[in-house]
Homo-oligomer: A and B are copies of this chain.
Amino acid sequence: MRVTGFGFEVLATDPDTGARRGRLATPHGTVESPVFIPCGTQATVKTLSPRDLEEEGVELILCNTYHLSLRPGAETIAALGGLHRFMAWPRALLTDSGGYQVFSMAELRRITEEGVHFRSHLDGSSHTLTPEGAIAIQEGLGADIVMAFDDCTPYPATPDQARASLELTLRWAERCLAARTRADQALFGIVQGSVFPDLRAEAADRLTALPFDGYAIGGLSVGESKGQMLGVLRHTAPRLPAERPRYLMGIGTPEDLLLGIAAGIDMFDCVMPTRHGRTGSLFTRQGRLSIKAAEYARDARPVDPECACYTCRTFSRAYLRHLFVADETLGLRLNTLHNVHFYLTLMAEARQALVEGTFAKFLDDRLTAFQGSPDGSAAAE
């Protein structure tokens, strides 16, 4: 199928690392890459309005097919004009296939050749998600970018288990391509293969022989070590075609994003900035800051004096701490806004460094600043 309204171009490539500055065209606007994609699981980036997100410069949001198909139901959203209209988001959307969510429910699902049989986490009702069903649901939701239904390989897996899982994912990938009917949605395939280099290589080579509009690396951040994750990333990303967008799913810390960009990745999503926002853990260039700490009770400074977000322009650490301690939901929103801004700013700075030819120095400077933190964001002060 020839997809219309979707395109990808590489504007600059770092000669040392292969990192790319790119641009995706979608029916709902362009997306500058490398891009961080906030998670809007239930058709809302938790605590933020569409206007908040537009003002922060968000160009692409991810929503979860699994959650939306159970509540309010994909048919309901389709009847209301699709997901963009439902959530009043005028810019680009990406939906996952539901594969990762059902994978996460180990106790509640059974995998067959046909698809995945599972019970709803909401009411225990029985459902079956197939490649064809996942495509049909995503076509009803109407996102700009949709994902193939894959089998997310558990960790740890034996080579035989990983082989079986990647073969199933490849058969499902072909069924997804055959099932698609909308020419205005880009469809991405997903590389599995666990932590085994030869399997990842084979999965990438066979998947990229199929006519997807982009390629994702899946099955990471499922229990493997940071070293294993980086190994797979660095081994797999270069095998994906240079002329298509590359998407690292569900990753990660600020450090992970920088290393992902350096490996040639264009797109990232992760719940980390939004979830950490709701637990009061705020990102700064000097590391993370836990806003509930007593030391901030009379701290008149913003979270990050260098930050230009609404939260930092307007409120003190003392006020944010008060909101958090007093269980005021405004605090969750202001924290989330700051963290999303931090992630987007990191991406914007990476893009600028790539255009200016200073990416190697930028990468080195930022990784050094993050150094000493197990998750790439040391506790501040």
A: which residues have CB within 8 A of B? 42-44, 46-51, 71-72, 76, 79-81, 86-88, 297-298, 300, 310, 314-316, 318-319, 321-323, 325-326, 328-330, 332-334
Inter-subunit contact B328/A298 (CB<8 Å): no
CA distance A325 to B222 in the complex (A): 30
CA distance A345 to B182 in the complex (A): 45
In the complex, what residues of B have CB within 8 A of residue A297's CB? Answer: 72, 76
- Please, which residues of chain B bring their CB within 8 A of the CB of A51? 310, 314
**B318 with A80: CB separation less than 8 A:** yes
Q: List, sorted by A's number, 15 A–B pairs whose CB atoms are closer than 8 Å.
A: A42-B323, A46-B329, A46-B330, A49-B310, A50-B314, A72-B297, A72-B326, A76-B298, A76-B318, A80-B298, A80-B300, A81-B300, A86-B316, A86-B322, A88-B315
Smallest beta-carbon distance A145→chain B, Å: 22
- A88 near B300 (CB under 8 angstroms)? no
Distance A322 CA – B44 CA, assembled complex (angstroms): 10
Residues in chain B near residue A298, CB distance under 8 A: 76, 79-80
Inter-chain CA distance A42–B44, complex, in Å, is: 26
B residues less than 8 Å from A328 (CB atoms): 42, 44, 46
| Distance (whole angstroms) from the CB of A169 to the closest CB of chain B | 30
In whole angstroms, how far apart are the Cα atoms of A321 and B86 in the complex? 11
A87 CB contacts on chain B under 8 angstroms: 319
Q: A49-B334, A50-B314, A87-B319 are in contact. List 18 more A-B contacts (CB 8 A).
A: A42-B328, A43-B322, A44-B323, A44-B328, A47-B330, A49-B310, A76-B297, A76-B298, A76-B318, A80-B300, A80-B318, A81-B300, A86-B316, A86-B318, A86-B319, A86-B322, A88-B314, A88-B319
